[in-house]
Amino acid sequence: MDENIAIGRAQKLLKDAGIKAAPVDVETLAVFLDFKVSRVELPDTEAGSTFIKRGQKHILVNENDSPLRQRFTILHEIAHHVLELPSKHGDKVPADELERFTGRHPEEILCDVFAAECLAPWALIQPMAEDKEFTLEHLGELAEHFQASRSCIASRFAQASDGHLAFVVAEDGVVKYSIVSKALREARVWITKGIPLPQNSAAAKAYKAGISGPHEADIEGTDWSSSDNARRFACYEQATYHAPTRQTQSILNFEELDQRPVSNGYRAKHDDDDLLEELDGRPGWSKYR
């Protein structure tokens, strides 16, 4: 099974259950599939569990988790059922696993993909990804709208946008997950899993500082990508660091650099342009569409 199948099944489930608006009613989906959902006290290390008792399918969710987390846990469990992927974590979902990448089975990641499609369905997020800028602020608004985590929304946004952008998650300073938008992929720029965070990146600085919170950086496309085509781009990054999981999330907006041939006359004019633009406090290339 690949991600497209997982996504297709999620879309079919939403359609069959008649769900068309955000925030997606996760309980309705569970009931539609004959699950009984109960919020109960579970150890901190456990996000949820699922089992069948006297013919009734149950999902238990840790009542101490945030409502967003509970929504994701329920959908992750539903995914195991719909995708018919046996759980690699037994009946219980460990709290430190969901939406993380280190040491996880591909089946578990597919279940997260399914959950993300349910939380931020393509048909709903795609028009918003065209309208809105890829910034922490707007991702925060969308996370609220969809009642999903910011990382879930950022992935979906990058998939749906027609801009040059990417979303990168690193753990312990190493890139674990990256999604580049279609336009960036078509420009033949990619970000490889397993590489250390670029030294000048906001994420690397955030990780070294070890303090949760937002950081930003203006760097080169080639800092993020080993692709020759990355030379055509500069990159504006907003990053956040989450100390408990040692995870950084980077929101990358790539701006295509001017491709015109460099002559002396043109060069002088170009430098003037840069100076003029800097007066309003933004580097020329980082202006948003």
Residues that bind Zn ion (CB under 5 A): 87, 108, 111
Min. distance of Cβ 80 from Zn ion in angstroms?
6
**Closer Cβ to Zn ion, 81 or 145, answer by number:** 81
Compare residues 29 and 124 and give the one whose CB is closer to Zn ion.
29
* Residue nearer to Zn ion on the CB measure, 108 or 255: 108
Question: Residue 73 Cβ, how far from Zn ion at the closest point, in Å?
Answer: 9
CB of 111 to Zn ion, least distance (A): 5
Q: How many angstroms separate the CA atoms of 19 and 145, rounded?
A: 15
Least Å distance, CB 158 to Zn ion, is: 24
Least separation in angstroms between CB 28 and Zn ion: 21
- Closer CB to Zn ion, residue 78 or residue 160? 78
- Sign of dihedral through CA atoms 175, 178, 183, 185? positive
